[in-house]
Structure 1
Amino acid sequence: MSFNNLDTLYRQVIMDHYKNPRNKGALEDGNISIDMNNPTCGDRIQLQMKVEGGKVTDVKFDGEGCSISMSSASMMTQAIKGQTIENALELSKIFSDIMQNKDYDDSIDLGDIEALQGVSKFPARIKCATLAWKAMEKGINSQEQ
């Protein structure tokens, strides 16, 4: 597949998650709740997770922001739902590596998350893409203490 076709496909995936976000809304029985924002562009997210037995059994988000931040939140919730805490944090590390153009373990199926690879070319947008992931890390780390 040519770069232009791949770029177009990635844009379509991002816009699909933006227009049809997965796991958006309130989680009534969550045991982790984190509010974060990106003051440089106005993105904000409220992330709620239900963690039981070391596993993310449910996760929802709400908020407002650009297509990158909201799409990333949608993709992140899909990726971590049903995962162990360790796997969720490992996915977050891989995502961070992708955003920093670092090598990462590409044997792991990232699903739709791969569509955000191009964001790394735009440093001002990296914070948009990582907002939900940072919220997830903060929420998990706050519960572990």
Structure 2
Amino acid sequence: MSDPLAGLYQQVILDHSKQRTGFGALPHPGAQRFERNPTCGDEITLQVTLEPGTDRIAALGWTGSGCSISQASASVLAGLAPGQTIAELQATIDVFRAMMRSRGVGEPDEDVLGDAIAFQGVSKFVMRVKCAMLAWVAAEGCLADLA
């Protein structure tokens, strides 16, 4: 990853950690999951609602506290999820997980990940992977409850 690109990705993470998309509880969630990273104390409660009568995500909301990586990752996920079906969001989670396990090797699919591609650099730091994955693991649990 080039230095200018790494700087851009760092800025995406900082922006999302400050101006958090989807932050706040949903009024009537279809599913809810709490996850905690015992290593560093990051916590998230993530909620998902579906469009009535479909398997399409209407909204993803979350509350929690933690480092800028965990907060930004939840924000990016909240921006990506609405409009996707349960299967599509699960596929996106799978691609994100593969990127986070890559240790920065390879080229993740930006068309699938959107701003989440900014976390590719985080994948090089094993202790930070759990921070980035926290919201995605919670979302996966919600999807299992909704399926």
What range is the shorter-chain TM-score in? over 0.9
2:141 counterpart of 1:133: no
Give the RMSD, CA atoms, in angstroms.
1.6
Structure 2: 5+ residue runs without aligned partners?
none
1:142 aligned partner: 145
Structure 1 10/104 Cα, relative in aligned 2: closer, same or farther at 3 Å?
closer
Counterpart of 2:84, as a letter, is Q
Distance 1:13 1:116 in 2: 9
SS of alignment partner, residue 60 of structure 1: strand
* TM-score, length-scaled by structure 1: 0.92
Distance 2:81 2:46 in 1: 12
Q: Structure 1 stretches (4+) deviating beyond 6 angstroms?
A: none
Structure 1: 5+ residue runs without aligned partners?
none
Q: CA deviation at 1:51?
A: 1.8
Q: Is the 8 A contact 2:92 2:112 kept in 1?
A: no
Taking only the aligned residue pairs, the percentage that are identical comes to 40
Q: CA deviation at 1:3?
A: 1.2
Distance 2:47 2:14 in 1: 23
Distance 1:133 1:104 in 2: 20
Distance 1:36 1:105 in 2: 25
Q: CA deviation at 1:43?
A: 0.4
2:57 counterpart of 1:56: yes
The size of the alignment, in residue pairs, is 143
Q: CA deviation at 1:105?
A: 6.5
Counterpart of 2:72, as a letter, is S
More off after superposition, 43-52 vs 106-115: 106-115
* TM-score, length-scaled by structure 2: 0.91
